[in-house]
Amino acid sequence: MISMILTDIEGTTSSISFVHEVLFPYASTHLESFVLHNQKVPEVRTQLDEVANIAGLALSDTPGIIKQLVHWIADDQKITPLKAIQGMIWQQGYKNGDFKGHIYEDAYKALTHWKESGVQLHVYSSGSVTAQKLLFGHTVYGDINSLFSGHFDTLIGGKKETGSYRKIIEQLNEPADKILFLSDIIEELDAAKEAGMQTYWLVREGNLPIQPRHRTAQYFGDITLN
């Protein structure tokens, strides 16, 4: 019987369009002004310096750093300092009421039911832990962060790497086959299954394909915990 659920966000609990049509454009639009106004703030400076190191830029090359960040956003790069800065920008957007975090109704109902049934819920997303908590803290259902017992991001490792899931299993201190991973990305599911987790492939649109390696579901209500 499943005792813990580890869920992805984008395309799983939440719409891909919300991320790509709301969050990413918002970050791109506000990135330059955010960096220019906050580049001396220690937590921001640390991330900007990391961007410069990764991109081979001078630490003082603020225009180059901004250009690199915008380029990474356009390419949907899963780079940790980018995700951290995006999270800081989105924090302002949520605080200002510019948007609310999207979560599918079926996901909200199922997560709430599982939590009430004693199943521990955890999140693993390429977005920073800060960004995860912001999204779940500002939904149309209110702040639902209390549903989750823990969060993981790319600091634990890439989502398509088996080693990342092994690290998560170790931190959760639970038998791998008691943990169910939910995602819309096959490569992530393959990595989780290789680590010993059970898996469900969320296919929100179209007909459910035949997938011998993973169980499939269109809605959270179709998922069985066994």
DSSP 6-50: EE--BTTTB-HHHIIIIIHHHHHHHHHHHHHHHTTSHHHHHHHHH
Domains of the chain: 4-15+101-222 (3.40.50.1000), 18-96 (1.10.720.60)
| Confidence band, pLDDT 50/70/90 cuts, at residue 35 | very high
Q: What is the pLDDT of residues 57-90, one digit of tens each?
A: 999 999 999 999 999 988 988 898 998 999 899 9
At 50, which helix (H) or strand (E)?
helix 42-55
Rounded CA Rg of the chain: 18
Q: 3-state DSSP helix/strand/coil percent for the chain, to nearest 5?
A: 50, 15, 35
**Confidence label for 209 from pLDDT (cuts 50, 70 and 90):** confident
Residue 127 has a pLDDT of: 85
- For residue 30, CA distances in Å to 172, 197, 207, 221, 224 come to 37, 39, 38, 37, 42
Q: Is the pLDDT of residue 26 over 80?
A: yes
Retrieve residue 48's tokens: 């900007």
Pairwise CA distance, residues 82 & 104, whole Å: 26
pTM: 0.85
Rounded mean pLDDT of the chain? 94
- Are the C-beta atoms of residues 166 and 188 closer than 8 Å to each other? no
Q: What is the mean pLDDT of residues 141-149?
A: 97
pLDDT for 20 equals: 87
Query: Which whole number is the average pLDDT over 137-145?
Result: 96
Structure tokens at 177: 């086959």
- Taking only the tens place, the pLDDT of each residue in 85-119 is 998 999 999 999 999 999 999 999 999 999 999 99
